[in-house]
């Protein structure tokens, strides 16, 4: 083999080595992404369990605000407008 062929073969070997390294890095990233997906699924399950609590809290706040408006604020507004 002449030196030019040897040089080309060495470059190809280095390229193959870097490609293998890139493939390993991509596999690691995919594994990390899958782990994050599992964590997100767990969080979604937790949120789904508490959705009814949030709905109850929301409607409680709406009820309190409605009560305050109808029983306290509205009479003042009606009295003010009647003057």
pLDDT tens profile 27-80: 999 999 888 888 888 888 888 887 888 888 999 999 998 888 888 888 888 888
Torsion of CA 70, 72, 76, 78, to 10 degrees: 20
Separation between Cα atoms, residue 83 and residue 79, nearest integer Å:
7
Look up the pTM and report it: 0.45
Q: Quick one: three-class SS letters along 20-57?
A: HHHHHHHHHHHHHHHHHHHHHHHHHHHHHHHHHHHHHH
pLDDT band (50, 70, 90) for residue 1 = low
| Helix, strand, or coil (residue 75) | helix
Taking all residues of the chain, what is their mean pLDDT, rounded to a whole number?
Answer: 87
- In the numeric block, the tokens 């009560």 are attached to 67
What mean pLDDT is predicted for residues 8-29?
91
What mean pLDDT is predicted for residues 7-15?
89
pLDDT band (50, 70, 90) for residue 26 = very high
Paired tokens of 66: 């409605």
């Amino acid at each position: 083999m002449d030196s030019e062929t040897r040089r080309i073969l060495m470059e190809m070997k280095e390229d193959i080595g870097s490609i293998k390294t890139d493939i390993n890095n991509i596999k690691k990233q995919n594994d990390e992404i899958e782990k994050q997906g599992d964590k997100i699924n767990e969080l979604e399950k937790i949120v789904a369990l508490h959705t009814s609590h949030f709905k109850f809290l929301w409607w409680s706040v709406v009820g309190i605000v409605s009560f305050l408006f109808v029983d306290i604020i509205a009479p003042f507004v009606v009295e003010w407008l009647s003057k």
